[in-house]
Structure 1
Amino acid sequence: MSAALRIGIVGYGSGGQAAALLLSRDGHQVEVFERAPVLGPVGAGFLLQPTGLSVLWELGLLDAALAHGARVRRLHGETVAGRAVMDMRYRELHRRYFGLGLQRGALFALLDEAWQEGRRVHCGRSIVAVDHEHGLLRDADGDEHGPYDLVIVANGAASLLRGSVAPPALDRPYPWGAQWCLVERGDWAWQDELRQRYVGARRMVGMLPVGTRPGDATPRLSFFWSLPVAALDSAANQDEGAWRSAVAAVWPQAAERLRDTAVPEGLAQARYRDTVARRWHRGRAVLLGDAAHAMSPQLGQGVNMALLDALVLRDSLRSAPSLGDALAGYQRTRRAHVGIYHLWSRWLTPLFQSEYDRVAALRDRIFHPLSRVPGGRGQTLQVLTGLRRGWFGSIRQAPEFLEALERRAEA
């Protein structure tokens, strides 16, 4: 497609930001609608995999991300008794690979600062309807926006607009959620590892180094505490003493890191959905990020998937002869990658967030030994790093990107 398009994007999360930046750079006229009155990130920290890092490299933001993020070289999970359940090192898949723990505030700031040319963002605009045929948007005040040649729906897992594209094949909330916050890293012992500790599948504490962010040079950790959704607002969970005792019983060192965190006021809540879209596009509208493929956080792929969506959509618009062909190619390419992750996350979630004690006991005994089986370990690492494509395929990284990682590792 050679003509510049007028594009409306609903949502300014990571996927919406990346899409706005990539498509603006290709000469398209981009306009963003964000329901929040003030732009800002939502969430504590996350793990950028090689897939997500490759998109930042494409955007010219890899160095800035590395300057703020914390390199993560090992993923380790254990029971409170010290039995290893998960132990993965990136170098076992590829000597150049690593994960990057990053604060959501850092990624938001980097993407936001990079998009200045042709920038048009409308804050406090809640879009309630999409006319996919005519490319029109209607907000909660009744105002109409457009028409647009393309509407990108990127407003998250709880999107009420995905049905405007097509009724989802599956759309249900997970019964388990989490509390999270950022804490100072200090003298934390595992500064290049994602660490998790489990009590069966009923309780889980996660600690991820996430580095710094623009305007705050203090290195931090992202804390994650798994809970049933029904317990997030329960009276028992509002009792500071009981809450701290519960966390300390699972992981005393993690509880110590939270000594200055207000409980429960300083803890944010997270809820998750499992969503499979029948179609990702219809007429002039297309889904992107969690609006297209929400899943549980067990594989930690949400931000990475959204960044890849934005990049593939840009490439499809570049190469296809028509908008319909471009959107069909985007859907085909991304579903080939995302599908296996839906399956794996659905299978893994009950092993780590459920009341299935016998299943968790079996996990504790066999999960780690199975991951050490020759041949199987590489496959597991490909899934965890976001590189699995289908049952047996994999995403191939550009040699230039791998060389860029090599140069930065040497530096």
Structure 2
Amino acid sequence: MSASLRIGIVGYGSGGQAAALLLCRDGHRVEVFERAPVLGPVGAGFLLQPTGLSVLWELGLLDAALGYGARVRRLHGETVAGRAVMDMRYRELHRRYFGLGLQRGALFALLDAAWDEGRQVHCGRTIVAVDHARGILRDDGGDEHGPYDLVIVANGAASLLRADVAQPALDRPYPWGAQWCLVERGDWAWRDELRQRYVGARRMVGMLPVGRSPGDASERLSFFWSLPVAALDSDAVQDEGAWRTAVAAVWPQAAERLRDTAVPQGLAQARYRDAVVRRWHRDRSVLLGDAAHAMSPQLGQGVNMALLDALALRDALRAAPGVPQALAQYQRQRRAHVGVYHFWSRWLTPLFQSEHDRIAALRDRVFHPLSRLPGGRGQTLRVLTGLRSGWFGALPLAPAFLEALDQRSADEG
């Protein structure tokens, strides 16, 4: 496709940011509509996998991201008694691979600063309806915008536009959520590991090194405390003493890192959805990121998937003769990758966030031994690192990107 398109994007999260940057660089005229009155990140920290890092490399932002983030080489989960439930090292899949713990604020700032030409962002605009055939957006003030040749709906897991693009086969909230915050890393012992600790499936603490962010030179950890959604606003959560006692009972070292965190005022809340749509596009409109494929955080793939969506959409628009063909190509490629992650996140979630004590007890006994079996370990690592495509395939990464990882590893050494 050689024509320059007029493109409207709903949402300025990671997927919307990456799509705006990639498509604007290809010569398309891009406008973004964000409901927040002021642009800024939402969320604490996350783990960029090799898949997400490959998109940042494509954008020329890999080195900047590495400068802010913390390299993560091991994924480890254990019971309070110290029994390993999960123990994965990136090097066991490939010597080049690692994850990058990153603050939301750092990624937001990198993507936002990189979009320095042709920038059009409208803040405080909640899009409530889309005329898919004409490419017209209508906001909550009654104003219309467009027409656009392409409308990208990238407004997150709770998107109210999803069902209008395509009737979901599944769209439901998860009964479990989380509290999270950023804390100073200090003398934290596990500086290159994602660590989790479990009490059955009812309680989980996670600690992820996420480096620093623009304007804050302090190295941080992202803290995660799993709770039923119904408990997020309960008296037990509001009672600081009870809350700290509960966290310390699971992981005293993690509780110590939160000694200066105001409870509950300093804790943000996260709620999740499971959304599956069979068709990702309608006329001129297409879904991207969590609006297309929201899932639980157990596999930690949300940001990575959104970045891959943005790159796949750009590539489809480059290769196809027109918008309809491009959207069909984009859907085929991304659904082949996303589908297995929907399956595994749905089935793994009860193992880590539920009230099923017997299932959790079985997990504690067999999950780690099964992951050590020949053949099974590589398959598990591909799922956890975002590199599984379909049931048995592997998502290819560009050889030049792998060479770039080699060079960065050599520089670090």
Q: Same fold (TM over 0.5)?
A: yes
Deviations 1:304-357 (A, max 9, x none): 000000000000000001110000000000000000000000000000000000
| Paired position in structure 2 for 1:93 | 93
Q: Is the 8 A contact 1:280 1:286 kept in 2?
A: yes
| Paired position in structure 1 for 2:324 | 324
Q: Write out aligned runs for 1:352-371 (5 A).
A: 352-371=352-371
Distance (whole Å) between structure 2 residues aligned to residue 328 and residue 63 of structure 1: 33
User: Shift of residue 37 of structure 1?
Assistant: 0.3
Q: Which amino acid aligns with 2:229?
A: V
Distance (whole Å) between structure 1 residues aligned to residue 261 and residue 279 of structure 2: 43
| Paired position in structure 2 for 1:32 | 32
| Paired position in structure 1 for 2:349 | 349
User: Shift of residue 288 of structure 1?
Assistant: 0.1
Q: Is the 8 A contact 1:16 1:154 kept in 2?
A: yes
Q: Is the 8 A contact 1:45 1:104 kept in 2?
A: yes
Q: Write out aligned runs for 1:5-404 (5 A).
A: 5-404=5-404
User: Shift of residue 278 of structure 1?
Assistant: 2.0
Structure 2 alignment gaps of length 5 or more: none
TM-score by length of 1: 1.00
Structure 1 alignment gaps of length 5 or more: none
Deviations 1:67-92 (A, max 9, x none): 00000000000000000000000000
What is the Cα-based RMSD across aligned positions, in Å? 0.4
Deviations 1:247-282 (A, max 9, x none): 000000000000000000000000000000121001
> Which of structure 1's runs of 4+ aligned residues deviate more than 6 A?
none
Distance (whole Å) between structure 2 residues aligned to residue 403 and residue 278 of structure 1: 36
Distance (whole Å) between structure 2 residues aligned to residue 322 and residue 129 of structure 1: 24
Distance (whole Å) between structure 2 residues aligned to residue 220 and residue 140 of structure 1: 38
Distance (whole Å) between structure 2 residues aligned to residue 198 and residue 244 of structure 1: 16
User: Shift of residue 235 of structure 1?
Assistant: 1.3
Give percent identity, aligned residues only: 86
TM-score by length of 2: 0.99
Q: Count how many residue pairs are aligned between Structure 1 and Structure 2.
A: 411
Distance (whole Å) between structure 1 residues aligned to residue 143 and residue 383 of structure 2: 44
Distance (whole Å) between structure 2 residues aligned to residue 255 and residue 162 of structure 1: 39
User: Shift of residue 19 of structure 1?
Assistant: 0.1
Q: Which amino acid aligns with 1:275?
A: A
**SS of residue matched to 1:407:** helix
User: Shift of residue 123 of structure 1?
Assistant: 0.3
User: Shift of residue 399 of structure 1?
Assistant: 0.8
User: Shift of residue 163 of structure 1?
Assistant: 1.3
Distance (whole Å) between structure 1 residues aligned to residue 164 and residue 6 of structure 2: 20
